[in-house]
Structure 1
Amino acid sequence: MPWLNPTPVTRFASLDEVGRTIDETVHTILADAAAHDLEDDQRAPALALAPSPGSGKTTRTQAILASQPRDLIGGDALFLSPTADLSAEACDRALAIHGNTTPATQIRGRSAIDPLNPGERMCQKWELAEQVARAGLKVGDTLCQLREGEGADETVRRCPFFDDCAYQRQSRELPEESAVDRYAAHNFVYLPTPTGRNKALRVIDEKFWPKMLRQTVAPVHAFTRQERFPRPAEEPIECHFIHRAAHEVVDALRVGRDVSALPYHADLYRNFAKNERENIDRLPVIKPDMTEEEQTETLARIQACKSAAHRYAAIWEALADAWDLGRATPDRLTLQTRTYTSADGGTVEVEEIVCHGSRKVLGNIPTLILDADASETILGTFFPKIEVCTQRLKPNAEITQVSNLRMSTTRLLGSASLRRKCRMLIETEVARDRNDHAGGVLVGCTKKVARRFFEEAGLVSPTTPDREAVSIMLNEKLFGASWLWFGDRALGSNRYEDYATVIVLGRNELPVEALEDQGRSLFGDKDDQPLEFVEADKNGRRQMPEVLIPYEMTSGASVAAPVRMHPDERIREIQMQHRECCTRQLVERLRLARARYRKRVILVCNIPIPGLPVDNLVRFDDLLPRTDRLGSALREATRGHRSLILTAKELPKCAPDTFSNEKAAEQWLARIRKNPRPAMNDINSGVRGFGLHAARIRRDVPRARLEICLVLVQPGECPRAVIEAAHGPLRDYAPIPTPDATSVFGSKGSNR
């Protein structure tokens, strides 16, 4: 629809300008790191670089780090990537940089595969370690090494596997006299590395903040009734007081009453949290030098105590923070009802209280963030007063976007006909690419949608384990194209930089509840402005309001689309990160700014994407090849027996997706007899990769009639053999050398 305001125009920078900015920013953080005292309480400096994907920010940063001696900053540099695989790639790049005198090594987590023993994990107790972490205990002190006492009285308790542990080996193999560059996954933003060495600089590559979000969940009946374990020996009255306060808080949350009007204040809530945490100290203790059986038994005893002290403490602290700000209702606390499967196979509904929060960034270390989507609003919750430098590179691409479909994941999953159209689009672009650049076609969508396409093609099944399905979807081509999905998989990878075309199906849209939960975790009760949430309508539906958002058109045309946007600006920032930025990140896997020729971008969603000026704004059907239903049926036949018998009875059997029943086939045949031109166009166009033949056939069955059959054959195949493999032996077979409207659609039997 028309846009009456000035149209957006992105100021694009040159590659040289972006390169200079990267260089200046990296040298600035190195100077800041050299000046920062790691023992000082003063907040460490933090900077963020946000040039377009494909600007070379990661490689360029690594090259600068390689040229700078680490003794200038006084310790190791920690380089964090979205996944362990990307971390390994970054480490390999660092080792390959000519003249790099700083050792580089990859740090792996406990559950990772040991590269020296591919059949083993880094930690021999990795499964127990995960259980210990879920119980809220420190894994290092619990399972690896614990120091008790001081000086001459110090006792060191160690795991019996400690000296041979691959996880601990990572620190022993590092040189003691010199600094190193350590490469790891994003988890180590909040987890300690096994080395215990000084970290003088931290570089975080790509978006890390989603991994920092966490929810603390406790059943309401336990929070309000459960005896704290062990029961406070000297303060049973205090325990009763906590129960009464918990009841009143939950009752207020249920009806939306003002929680701040309850007879409790921030200091009292924090005292409740303190009492809860003291109960943790009274629990059984797991120590590293125990046998694994003893550790497992002790953990079971802790779990049997049903101690949720750390969860309860988080709830009280959220109430204290809200009280300090004068909140009527805490942003970070919500109630929800979830359905669980009971031991007898039935279901049970449990009311839960949820505390939304985020993990703390570990260590006061000078930090450089490399993220094309860096948001000062979001990053500021982890690094206050962070400076973000944003620059955009002009994509060397023809960008086509649909104007009439939002293309939600729900619609894609629920509509087989829409998926068929998407397949037609993909196959059309694959054929175009083979004739043009032969660079390759990349298809992007949500992971659920990608899996549905692969399941329908028979490459994976609904029961295929996720890890195996991911490997198949990433490494097998479908409809001649490679596939990728939104999220970490689409961050930082150069695997598709030589591809010529990218098609993005739909968008990465979080449900309102999930979006607001992330907003609660990041921004809840942190400043004077409470969060604004979407209210339910009279039918109980919570829909975000529509806002007109303009396209950036290369023609200068003023056009806009109605887009659902969250009413709270801070939560809208999160929405942009997941939706618009994820689309842009996936598109930029083709490294458009550095492309040697003009590539093709097709966005099958009408939401405008900042930084991607649109050349062609079209309807979805305009992207599809002009075909009659016969063309669809022929393409469908390529997935089956590769033949179509042109009768109302047989067409639904040969192409059930195109002709759902005999009536639909009969009506189509009647129309085609009157106007055969669309169907003849499909016959003349054929199907790429197959030869199309027509024949009059009579099957070798009693009372068989003469029928017209279209058959798709590959080089070297016999048309009659393909037909007989599909429909059984033939009594008569007469090829139609030159199919025309009369011979194919005017013959006896062709519409019965």
Structure 2
Amino acid sequence: MLDNKTELHPEHSHETWLGLQPARHKLKEHISQFLTSNVGWKQTDDGEHPPVLGLKVSAGLGKTRTALECIAQHGHDFLENGHILFYVPTLDLAVEAERTFKDLKSDHPSFVMRGRSAINPETRAPMCERADLAKKVAKSAKSVTRAICREDNPNGESFEAACAKGCPYLAQEKTEKNHVVFLAHSYLKSKPPLSGNVALRIIDEKFWKEMIDLQTLPHDAWLFAPDHLKARNLSGAYSTMQAAVTSALKAKTPVHLALRDSDISAETLRDLATAEEMAVPTLELDLRSPDDIVRMKVDTFDHAAANSIRVRSLICDLLANTIDHRGTERLSLAKPSEQSDYRALVKLHRLADLPADAPTILLDADLDETIVRRFCGNAQFERLLVRPKAHVIQVSDRTLASSTFKAEGRQKQRSDVVTIIKREVERAQSNNVLVVATTAVLHALYKDDGKIFEETSTKPQKLYGATVRRFGSKLLGINTYSDFATIILVGRLQLPVVTIEDQLRAVFGDSDVPLDLTTDEKLVSSKTSILRAGNKRVEAKFQSHPDPRGACLLQQGREAQSEQAIARLRLLDANIPKRVLVLSNVPLPGLPVDEWLKFDALVQEKTNVQVSLKYQKLERAIRDGKGQKLKGLRLSAAGLFGDADKVFHTLKLATEFRKKLRTPDVLDWTMAIAADMGMSATSVQLSKGRRGGHPTPAVVFTNAADAQQRSRELWPDYDKHVVTEDSGIAGDDDTAVVEAI
């Protein structure tokens, strides 16, 4: 069991990789043990938290299927007490999970929970025939069901809309027998239409983003005291409160201190919250009214005004609950933008709690303990990590960010990416290649090819023979690409800094440690390490958030997205290592890197040395600066200046070139350059006199038999010309020594 101390940004160590089968055995053991230990758990008081197990497991280990197998084996006792809810990111994955569960031939009843707009698999029509109306009503009604479906009045009378009878959506609530219910993460925040108790929850994949609720209030609806506060003599208090909060948010100073300085109390704030709540207009609908009348009332209702009053009430309530404590950082200001119709906004960052009425298992390849503890302070954690079977090539000097990649001046960079894609498709031959990138990057690549990338297409799209997909949640959990041989990630998915800080405020805005926000919404340079294939680490720099908790949130949307995309090739079960090309230098914690290359080196199929400036300069020198090849080259600074002055124009330039460059390395470079040019090359050691001094290393571009003669012709001032091996080490007994007569 891991140490349960909270770490804001733990260093991930992979020194103890598990074997595939042992890891799968441990996974099943952990889940089974948790189920058998907590089958009889019942909440005895309101403050008691249910047991929670967080399992961080390598993608492809089979966490979903293993959990389903454990439910099939141990679920009977849980179903005697209530439903078993199995949450996955999307409805499609819920359908797939239930199909897998049925394949296990379990006798436990199960079904997929579907929302109003979801398609009924039996009729191919929406589950609710007025799903579009329900979506509009949800903006202003506390309960959509009571507003347009059915309602019980205080007299005990029940009323139903005509469409409520036989409604597939409402029928789900009438399920009497306890079931294994498969449903989307969205139901974690909104109660599913389901009667009865819940005995067990299993949440597959990361869930925390679904719990965030961002409410916005136009600045003009915040700036002035609303008229309905006059009757309660609260207009002055509102204006004072509003001015204090706005001033603090602009100055980035604590809001609760500004309120105290303005003599605003918690009691006053509660009065404001209550007055605003009571003023929220009600959307009055009659279930017996014709559909056209209902739709007219919904369309003419001022949803925006009602929402503004509701958000003001929520803001005042938040301030009332935090003013006498550390305060809150759940409020922020947003400048006018295209997304807000060029209106300034006050933003309220809220976070829903996880349901806490049943034992819970969290399954996630990217599970972050810091984030999970925000929801489940008593969670216990286990990590089961298996080394992926892959040959990983990652670029070390480019991010390939979408904003720059798609720019007009980056045609060369996009062309280089196309070169890599074409080469990998050819290398894979009959096997498939998957390319994953952001929408913006794919649009740019398709445009260069004279084509259009169809964002909404449900069919596989191709680019230069490779299958393409976008980063995002729709890649989670799918096995479609398990037989592919290669994956290429072009760039990475990175949310805007303002979005990351919206998440940071929502998840950690009321914590005891103040938030460390960015300056001008810019990330900062941070140090980390790259895990190399031999379990060695090399230092690397990358852009991160200054707050360790913000760094965790950033990693969940950036590094985790890349690792999840790579996991679609199911690397753990591969017979032979698959090729993974990461065209971004953002380190991926769970991916050992075999080749850490500069982008140009990868494009040209060269080493980092071969694309370095010094290497290229030496290459030009051997070509004599004008395409003519030298006959020989001394490798000392003086020799470079003397033999290749068209490139090394001064002794200072030659000295700078040799600075921090070992002679054996220069010799290796020279021999490699000669080989690339199709020239023979032989290394020689030159010296003057019979005593003292260091020999001068040199290379003559001819075979060993003619090397001494060429060396004497080029450098007659030297007394000795010793032919050596191309490694710079003295040769065998046949090595000849030519001395001046």
Q: Output the TM-score relative to the length of structure 1.
A: 0.74
Within the candidate set 536, 543, 562, 1:564 is matched to 543
- Residue deviations 1:517-544, cap 9 Å, x none? 110011102x2211111123xxxxx422
Give the corresponding residue for 1:83.
Answer: 90
Higher Rg of the two aligned structures: 2
**2:160 aligned with 1:162:** no
Q: Secondary structure at the match of 1:121?
A: coil
Range with bigger deviation, 84-93 or 240-249? 240-249
Runs of 4+ residues over 6 Å off in structure 1: none
Partner AA of 1:57 in structure 2: K
Structure 2 equivalent of residue 269 of structure 1 = 269
Is contact 1:7–1:550 with CA below 8 Å preserved after alignment? Answer: no
Q: 1:318 deviation in Å?
A: 3.0
Question: Does residue 481 of structure 2 align to residue 492 of structure 1?
Answer: no
Q: How does 1:570-589 map to 2 (within 5 A)?
A: 570-589=549-568
2:129 is matched with: 124
* Counterparts of 1:21 and 1:614, CA distance in 2: 26
In structure 1, which of residues 324, 331, 334 is the aligned counterpart of residue 332 of structure 2? Answer: 334
CA drift of 1:558 comes to: 5.1
Q: Hey, what does 1:593 align to over in structure 2?
A: 572
Question: Which structure 1 segments of 5+ residues have no match?
Answer: 1-5, 342-346, 537-541, 628-680, 682-752
- Contact 1:54–1:593 (Cα < 8 Å) also in 2: yes
CA distance in 2 between partners of 1:94 and 1:159 (Å): 36
- 1:513, CA displacement in angstroms? 1.4
- TM-superposed CA distance for 1:512, in Å, is 1.7
Partner letter of residue 369 of structure 1? Answer: L
* Alignment check: 8 A CA contact 1:510 1:578 kept: yes
Structure 2, unaligned stretches of length 5 or more? 1-10, 607-675, 677-741
Indicate conservation of the 8 Å contact 1:322/1:331, yes or no.
no
Contact 1:224 1:244 in 2 (8 A): no
3-state SS of the aligned residue for 2:353?
coil
CA distance in 2, matches of 1:547, 1:188: 37
- Change over 3 Å in CA distance of 1:467–1:24 after alignment to 2: same
Deviation at 1:609, TM superposition (A): 1.0
1:252 aligns with 2:258: no
CA distance in 1, matches of 2:595, 2:351: 42
Aligned to 1:676: none
2:447 paired with 1:452:
no
Residues 223 and 243 of structure 1 are in contact (CA less than 8 Å); yes or no, is this contact kept in structure 2? no
Q: Deviations over 1:409-468 (max 9, x none)?
A: 11222222222211111110011011xxx331111122332243344445536xx6x433
Alignment map for 1:58-207 (pairs within 5 Å): 58-73=64-79, 74-98=81-105, 100-118=106-124, 120-135=125-140, 137-149=142-154, 153-172=155-174, 174=175, 176=176, 178-207=177-206
C-alpha displacement of 1:213: 1.5
Cα distance in 2 for partners of 1:392, 1:556 equals: 14
* In 2, Cα distance between equivalents of 1:596 and 1:136: 55
Q: RMSD in angstroms over aligned alpha carbons?
A: 2.6
Cα displacement (A) at 1:293: 3.1
- Look up the match of 1:640: none
Structure 2 residue aligned with 1:688 = none
SS in 2 for 1:30: helix
Letter in 2 for 1:428: R
Residue among 501, 511, 518 paired with 1:534: 518
Identify the residue that residue 431 of structure 2 maps to in structure 1.
Answer: 439
Residue aligned with 2:129, SS: coil
Contact in 2 for aligned 1:102/1:179 (Cα 8 Å): no
Query: Which position in structure 2 is the counterpart of 1:364?
Result: 357
CA 1:103–1:24 in 2, change beyond 3 Å: closer, same or farther?
same
The 3-state SS of whatever aligns with 2:270 is: helix
Q: Secondary structure at the match of 1:54?
A: coil
- Deviations 1:113-156 (Å, cap 9, x if unpaired)? 222222x211111112111222353222222222222xxx3122
- The size of the alignment, in residue pairs, is 588
Looking at structure 2, the residues matched to 13 and 306 of structure 1 have their Cα atoms a distance apart, in angstroms, of 57
SS at match of 2:162: coil
SS of aligned partner of 1:549: strand
Q: Is contact 2:87–2:204 with CA below 8 Å preserved after alignment?
A: yes
1:187-233 deviations in Å (ceiling 9; x for gaps)? 111122223232211111111211221211111221232536xx369
Q: Which residue matches 1:622?
A: 601
Letter of the aligned partner of 2:416 in structure 1? K
- Contact 2:490-2:584 at 8 Å conserved across structures: yes
d(CA) in 2 for partners of 1:287, 1:38: 39
Higher mean displacement: 295-304 or 493-502: 295-304
Deviations 1:375-420 (A, max 9, x none): 1211222222222212211111111111111211112222222222
**Aligned pairs (5 A) from 1:203-242:** 203-225=202-224, 227=226, 231=228, 235-242=231-238
Give yes or no for contact 2:140–2:303 (8 Å, CA) kept in 1.
no
TM-score of the pair, normalised by structure 2: 0.75
C-alpha distance in 2 between matches for 1:381 and 1:291 = 47
The 1-side partners of 2:151 and 2:446 are apart by 49
Amino acid of the structure 2 residue aligned with 1:547: S
Alignment partner, residue 284 of structure 2? 285
Residues 312-369 of structure 1: per-residue CA shift (max 9 Å, x gap): 1221233234423334xx411111122469xxxxx97422111111233346232211
Assess if the C-alpha contact under 8 Å between 1:499 and 1:590 holds in 2. Answer: yes
Report if aligned partners of 2:56, 2:381 keep a CA contact under 8 Å in 1: yes
Question: Could you tell me which residue of structure 1 aligns to residue 376 of structure 2?
Answer: 383
1:518-577 superposed Cα distances (whole Å, 9 cap, x missing partner): 10011102x2211111123xxxxx422212211111246553221112111111110111
